[in-house]
Amino acid sequence: MTDSHILHDALAKLMTEQRNPSSMDLDTRSTEGILRLINAEDKLVPLAVEHEIPYIAEAVDIVVHALKNGGRLIYVGAGTSGRLGILDAAECPPTFGTEPGLIRGVIAGGQAAVFRSQEGAEDDIEKGRHDMDAQEITPRDVVCGIAASRRTPFVVAAVARARELGAKTIFLTTNPRSEFDLEVDVAICPEVGPEVLMGSTRMKSGAAQKLVLTMLTTTVMVKLGKIYQNMMVDLQRTNQKLVERSKRIVMLATGLSYKRAEELLESAGGHVKTAIVMALAGVSADEARKRIEEADGFVKGAVPPGP
């Protein structure tokens, strides 16, 4: 049997490559009928993700430990999966004030593949291994492979290389756990079923991956003290919207006026968390920073307990 036949047979068995019985008449439906069908299938995605919460929780704990001990979270994927990893990584610095290198994304085909499909890049096993070496992966790091099919050669090779280098490994796929056969620390396998358009994993699979990645990093940041109550208190004030949001957060957290919140933020060098501690503990900016450090980054540990 040729390599092509082996690949064909392997793909034919994947859940993500099956035909969806609900959409066999997709090409004859009305515009609204197509949209309603896609919407109905999309509603299955959060339920599939819900079943994986115990595994997502394991992944969160692994990442929190890594980031607390000098490690990084590295996403690696191809195509849509790679772009989703890059998107999640790119959103962490402005949202949570993380250093740009702390959470990063690697995509098959490099930067050009973010904007335009690089055909064949996902099959490059050696490049997958090389890219992990280029990232200088260490045992302190966590590498999260993202591949709807589970079989993407670039991703599988990268995760295997990361494991060889001692890193903890996570793998996110939308094929069944019963068929998962890779050696990783945690597998996350939301089963979203066949796509409305056969094999188009940018649809339900992509939606599931986006949900999981957002859950993962948001929960990690909560566990690292980047959130106070349900507000982002380490955000970077990189545009006017975020400048105004920072003032609103201080006002909501402290009950202070707009003007006073603005003054405190100026004294705190624009750092929301510091301004909140200054207000709630009645201390200077330097003392607030000291308290935050002693509280391991958590506002609640840096201020007097509430009534």
Q: Which residues are catalytic?
A: 91, 122
Q: Is there a contact between 275 and 251 (Cβ–Cβ < 8 Å)?
A: no
Q: Is there a contact between 212 and 52 (Cβ–Cβ < 8 Å)?
A: yes
Residues linked to residue 172 through DSSP beta bridges, in sequence order:
146, 188
Indicate the residue type of 51: H
